[in-house]
Structure 1
Amino acid sequence: MANVSRNKARIHRHLRVRKNIFGVADKPRLCVYRSLNDIYAQIIDDEKGITLVSSSSIDHELRAQVEKMTKTEQAVAVGKNIAERAKEKKISEVVFDRGGYQYMGRVKALADAAREAGLKF
C-alpha cells in the first residue's frame, strides 16, 4: 500500500470516528497526531473551535529531554506534559480522539501517561 493511500485511509477513519466524538466545554477532545518522527497532542473545545492546551515532542520545554529518548518514551513525556498543562487550565476529563491511528504503540503510550498523570477518559 502506498504512503499516500495509507494516509488517505487514516484520514477517512478519522473522519468516520469524528462523527461520534465531539469535545464540549465540560469534556474537551484530546486529539493525537503522530508523524514519522514526532507526536503531537491537543485538547480542543469543538463548540468554540479553539485549542485549549497543546503539547508535542518538538515543544521548547520537552525538546532537550526527548532528544535522547525513543519515540515511545517521547510519547509518554508528551502525555504527562499535556496532562499537567490541562490541570493548570482546570481540565480533568476529556474525550480521547486517536486520530485514525490504531490504539497501540505511541498512541497508547501517550494515552496511558496522560491517564497516570490525572486526566480521565
Structure 2
Amino acid sequence: MAKKDELGRRGEELAVRYLKARGYRVIARNWRCPQGEIDIVAERRGEVAVVEVKTRSSTVYGHPFDAITPVKAARLRLLAGIWCEAAEHPPGALRIDAIAVLAPAGIADRDVVIEHLIGVC
C-alpha cells in the first residue's frame, strides 16, 4: 500500500474515533456509487452529516481543508443527495462536514491534530 493511502486510512480511522467520542453514530464508511465516494456518514441527535476527511502529514503543501475546492464541494452536495435517495431511512436533516487530520509520521494518535468544520457546504 502506498504511503499516501496508509495516511488516508489512518486519517479516516482517527476521524471515526473523533466523531464517536463526540456522540456520533457512524452509519457508513467509504460509501460508493458511480458518481464517487463519501468518506463517512454519521448521525447525532437526528441530524446526518456527510463527512469529507482530508489527511496530511504536514502543511507544507497547504492545510488539508485547502483540498476542498468548489468542484469538490459540488461533488459532495451531489453525493449527499444520492446517498439520501439510496438511504433506507432518509434523514430529516442533512449537512456536509469536513474533518482535517494533521498526522506527521511517527507521531502518536493522541498527538494528532483534528479539526472539524460543521456545515461547510
Question: What is the TM-score with the length of structure 2 in the denominator?
Answer: 0.33
Higher strand fraction (1 or 2): 2
Q: Which structure has more helix as a fraction of its residues?
A: 1
Q: Which has the higher contact order (CA 8 A, sep 6+)?
A: 1
How does the TM-score come out when normalised to structure 1? 0.33
